[in-house]
A and B are shown apart, each in its own frame.
Chain A
Amino acid sequence: MSAAAAQFRAQARLCAADLRHRHFIQTALAGYYAKRDECQNRFRSWARACQAAAAVKQDAVNHLDSCLEEFASKIEARGAKVFWAPAAAEARAYILQLARDRQARLIIKSKSMTTEEIHLNAALEKEGFQVVESDLGEYIVQLRHEAPYHLVFPAMHLTRHEISDLFHEKLGSPPTDDPEELTMTARRVLRLKYCQADIGISGANFAIAQTGMISITENEGNARLTASLPKVHVAVVGIERILPKLSDLALFLPLLATAGTGQPLTCYNSLFGGPRQPGEPDGPAEFHVVLLDNRRSELLADAEQRDALRCIRCGACLNVCPIFKSIGGHSYGTVYQGPIGAVITPHLLGLQQWKHLSQASSLCGACAEACPVGIHLHHHLLQNRRNAMRAAPLWREKLLFAAYAFVMRRPAWYRISARLARLIQPLHRWIGGSAVDPARAWTKTRALPRLAPKSFGRLWRERPRP
């Protein structure tokens, strides 16, 4: 078992047993479901909107090379610098060098899972740069030295009370349960930082090939400030963020808001097309785009799972996932949690170390049903399991399934095995659920079903014929 798998098991066990936590997450998501459904009903047909979005995104993925070149040439024409980062290390090195060259001290960031993916904050802090997250949820988890809990709601695991305690301890604000007051506390701290920051770093929700622009969707206005106030801006963009046309946003912005947060549209939707142009009153003097591959090309080469690159990081699959709701976001130990994380993490970080995420699923398919771009998430989990076992079978399992296949191909053996099981079952009662029970994984928490006294085959043979 990999270290990641061992940690996952331990965390998942703790969290699954924490009824308070489970209940809290369930309640938090109940509000989301209601709002999401309401917004979906505003579409003439949500299902067809999703199909259309899947087609647009798949087209972008199929023509990723030309779309990216178009995006880069268009944004460079307006004076932006585009850096093609093959992997996380190169992306970090580029941004670190930039920070050194500009003699930056304070760096402000808006929400970006891609920067989490390359562990940018840790790298910057290690070199002495001060990094401040400006998204409220991200700011909260940063103050707690925690990873985001959910890729859209980073602090969803915390109560107002816990946030109040945190602000009281770290910022000296008076304790309060009023969310507005808590927001104002963070705002007072953060407003100053935008003006003091030397560099602003953002992600991107979409990169528009046709016009060479970055689209950022948000509710707090912090991304707009991050991208316009500091002199230097860096946008870290996964190469799959691409959308072919500007008009595609007409579908994707409401789609993302509906699936992501249950809003018709988020409060702010901005497009950034490079540094301040002559005659413009504001905007950064320098605009850098770091296009991050980081093994996305390998996923692109996988004909079975390429559709995972359609992902718009809305988090809808997490919100409906009964595994996520049982074990919470931190148990995964990954930047991308939930079903999409279980699908792509093995591709991004290595199948053998991360295959447990694909195994830790009941394959119920709620994720695929919720996905607004139609990614076959749970089928990809099956393929990941197959790929993992093909490359490195677990010999105990391999043997077990070889025996199973032997018996299942021989009806006589099958009947004998069933008869044996009927004979053995009464004895099992003595050890059921105990430490020596071979079926303990089941019987520790669940009763074993009693086999029917007669098999179906026997009842069938014995029944009176009409």
Chain B
Amino acid sequence: MGMVRVFERLGHQVEYPPAQTCCGQPPFNAGYWDEARAVARRQMEVFGDAEVVVSASGSCGAMIKIFNAMLFQGRPEEARAKTLAARTFEFSEFLVNRLGLSDVGARFEGRATFHDGCHGLRELGLKKPPRQLLQHVRGLQLVEMNDRETCCGFGGTFAVKFPMISTAMGEAKCAAIAETGADFVISNDSSCLMQLQGILDKQGSRVQTLHLAQVLASA
């Protein structure tokens, strides 16, 4: 709901099509593109008329903006997939690049570090927007971690197909987070947050994961 609160505070009208489900990334990622297409096609129908689609997760955003083009390449739905891709934005991308905002009037007390989700960072090229937004949050002390652009190790089906590698990567990431002395780790990708919180909890760490929208929504 954080994203909704931010948009409404800014005076935008938010719609939530209740028929939406998943973007289709899990089977796409695992190599089952027929199943992925069936689901992605359905979302294209659901979001067909929207002026702008905003995703709270860089990874789902990348699926719609980048991977759907691979999925539907040379197929009748290709043009439609591209139209939807052009109208879809990741949350921070929409606020900063489309609306030209960096201060959304948020206040959040605490010391935090930001984790870049790889899809948001590399597929969508969003290195600056989330940081720009966080820098304008009153009360927030933002500290960068070492190797900040290194993956947390989630990677969709990879996390359960190769848990030993995925966990090793996550542990390295959590060590970098711990080094900063931050109380919170913020990201614009829910799947990274799930991986990080999963490891932090297992370690008994007190560091808490937060979605960017949760921070921006607090006032």
Give residues in A with beta carbon < 8 Å to B. 9, 12-13, 16-17, 22, 26, 322-323, 325-327, 359-366, 368-369, 379, 382, 385-390, 393, 397-398, 401-402, 404-405, 407-409, 411, 414, 441-442, 444-449, 456-457, 459-461, 463, 466
B107 is an interface residue with CB less than 8 A from chain A: no
Q: Looking at chain B's contact residues, is the secondary structure mostly helix, strand, loop, or mixed? A: helix
A405-B39, A447-B201 known; A362-B164 Cβ under 8 A: no
The answer to whether A361 and B158 touch across the interface, beta carbons within 8 angstroms, is: yes
B198 pairs with A449, CB closer than 8 A: yes
Would you call A405 and B198 a contact (CB within 8 A)? no
> Across the interface, which residues of A come within 8 angstroms of B154, CB to CB?
362
- Count A-B pairs with CB separation below 8 Å: 165
Give the CA-CA distance A447 to B170 in the complex, in Å: 12
B50 close to chain A: CB less than 8 A: no
- Docked-complex contact B122 and A365, CB < 8 angstroms: yes
Given A363-B156, A405-B39, A444-B163, CB of A397 within 8 Å of CB of B30: yes
Q: Which residue from chain A places its CB closest to the CB of B190 in the assembled complex?
A: A449
B119: chain A residues at CB < 8 Å are 365
Set of chain B residues within 8 Å of A325, measured between Cβ atoms? 172
| Chain A: minimal CB distance from B122 (Å) | 4
Contacts of A12 in B (CB 8 A): 162, 164-165
**A366 CA to B195 CA in the complex, in Å?**
19
State the CA gap A306–B118 with chains docked (Å). Answer: 25
Q: What are 27 residue pairs bridging A and B, where the CB atoms are less than 8 Å apart in the complex?
A: A12-B165, A22-B168, A26-B172, A323-B165, A360-B162, A362-B155, A362-B156, A362-B166, A363-B29, A366-B149, A369-B122, A382-B70, A385-B30, A387-B31, A389-B31, A390-B33, A397-B30, A398-B32, A401-B32, A405-B39, A408-B22, A411-B18, A411-B21, A441-B159, A447-B199, A447-B202, A466-B8
B123 at the interface (CB under 8 A from A): yes
Interface secondary structure of A, over-half rule: helix
* A213–chain B nearest beta-carbon distance, Å: 37
Q: Which residues of B contact A361 (CB under 8 A)?
A: 155, 158
- Neighbouring A residues of B19 by C-beta, 8 Å: 411
Residues of A within 8 A of B99 (CB): none
Category for how many chain B residues contact A? 35 or more
In angstroms, Cα B42 to Cα A161, docked, is: 60
The CB with the most chain A CB atoms within 10 A, among B19, B32, B155, B197, is that of: B32
Considering the complex, give the chain B residue whose CB is closest to the CB of A331: B165
Residue of A325, A362, A369, A407 contacting most chain B CB atoms (<10 Å): A362
A405 and B27 contact, Cβ closer than 8 Å, known pairs A361-B155, A365-B123: yes
